[in-house]
Structure formats: structure tokens, C-alpha cells
Amino acid sequence: MEIQDFINDYIAAFGAKAPLPLLFGYSERPMAKTEKIGGCFFKGLQAARQGTLVTLSVEVIGCGGGKLYTGFTDMPPYVPTFVSEREKYKKTPAMVADYVKSLEIERSTKPYLNFVRIDKADSFEGVEGILFFATPDMLSGLCGWAFYDNNDADAVVSAFGSGCSTVVSQAVAENRRGGQRCFLGMFDPSVRPWVGKNELSFTIPFSRFVTMHATMHDCFLFGSHAWEAIKRRLEE
């Protein structure tokens, strides 16, 4: 699969104004020199969305949760209490600990995690997932595309968690097991300031992206009267 082939299909389906997605994956060497990001690392992904390569590492990420959910560190001891009693996202620290355990996060064997806008990438080699920042109209297209050849109840999943867990942790685990689920995210209030007020994330693990791209021209995204009406609105 060639990068430009998908870009052409994506623009044809969603319109020229649709924001290009980010590819992310791990590497032995950094793709870019990125300054340390204090707090949520999604504030640093604004640069990636503008076309600047962003490389994260344990030194660059300033948030303990971000280091955990990217697989760079084990869970810091304070996280369950912080998430429960400070952020009030779960009733008890034990519930937080159980949730993190359920994610089965693998420690990364590579020290860098790179985010690159798809038109700035040379290939899909090493890609773990594709991250879209999507409005409701775009989500109708992305979700419908994911449902086209998949009747499973969890074809698209909306799970509890921080932005980094619903994007990185979930997609990486799914990709490495060859899974077919896609993930809605950015419901976490802590990450909301760093995305548009009408945006959520939609992440496709690369294992699922391969099968979805093969169905793109067959589904409603091409030649459907209903989708053409939405596409016109996306292009306004």
C-alpha cells in the first residue's frame, strides 16, 4: 500500500478540507528533535498536525500517565490515587489500577514514539496506528466505513481513559494482536483543551487499516447520495 494512494482516496472520500491524519509508531532513533512537553503531550501534537514531525520519549513526555500509556515506563505509584481522588475520574484507586492492568500495556522495546502527518511520511513501515481528528460529520464517515465489513459489537470502541490511552495504548495492543477494532477517544476532560471543541479522535490500528483501505471504494464513501450530502457540508 502506497501513502499517496491512500491520501488520494481519503481526499476523494472526505473532501480537500478534511484534516490529514497522523501516523504513529516506535523507532530506535528519533525522527525529530522535540522539546520537553509539560503536562499532556497532546498539546505538542498540534505541531504534528501542522506538518512538523514530533518525536516523544521518556525525556520529552512530562506527564507520568503519558509515559505509562506510551509504554515507556511502568505505572507510577501515585497514578491510581491521582486519577481517583484528584481528577475524580474513577470512584476508587483500585478501579484505576484494575483498568490499567486490563490494558495489558507492553513496555516499549524502542525508545522513541513518532507522530507524523501522513503526507510527510515515506511509507507505512513501522506504523502502529492512524490517528484522525474528526468532527461529527467526519466521524459518521469513519465509523460507517469501519462498520461496513464488520458486524462485531466492538467494531468501534469508546473506552474510558486518557487521550494517550485511548489513542496509543489501545491501538498498539490491537495492532500487535492483529485485531480489527477502531477506537473513539478524546472524551477525557484533561485532554479536551488540546483538541478542537467539535473534535474527537478516531484511531485505526494498522492491522485494521489494511483491511479497511481495501473496502474504501466499495462502501458508501464513494457513490452514495447520502454521503455526498455530508461531503458537501464538509467542503463548505
The tens digit of pLDDT for each residue in 130-148 reads: 999 999 999 999 999 999 9
Confidence of residue 8 (pLDDT cuts 50, 70, 90): very high
The residue range of the domain holding 173 is 3-234
5 — pLDDT class (breaks 50, 70, 90): very high
Q: How confident is the model at residue 1 (pLDDT cuts 50, 70, 90)?
A: confident
Rounded Cα–Cα distance for residues 66 and 76 (Å): 11
Rounded mean pLDDT, 15-41: 96
How many domains are contained in the chain?
A: 1
For residue 204, what are the contacts with CB-CB under 8 A and spacing of at least 6? 129, 130, 132, 146, 171, 182, 212
221: pLDDT confidence band, cut at 50, 70 and 90?
very high
Give phi and psi for 99, each to the nearest 5: -60, -50
Q: How confident is the model at residue 194 (pLDDT cuts 50, 70, 90)?
A: very high
* The model's pTM: 0.95
β-sheet bridge partners, residue 25: 114
Q: Which of 32-36, 102-106, 121-125, 153-157 has the lowest mean pLDDT?
A: 102-106
Residues 59-83 pLDDT 10s: 999 999 999 999 999 998 999 999 9
CA 109 to chain centre: 20
Mean pLDDT taken over the chain: 96
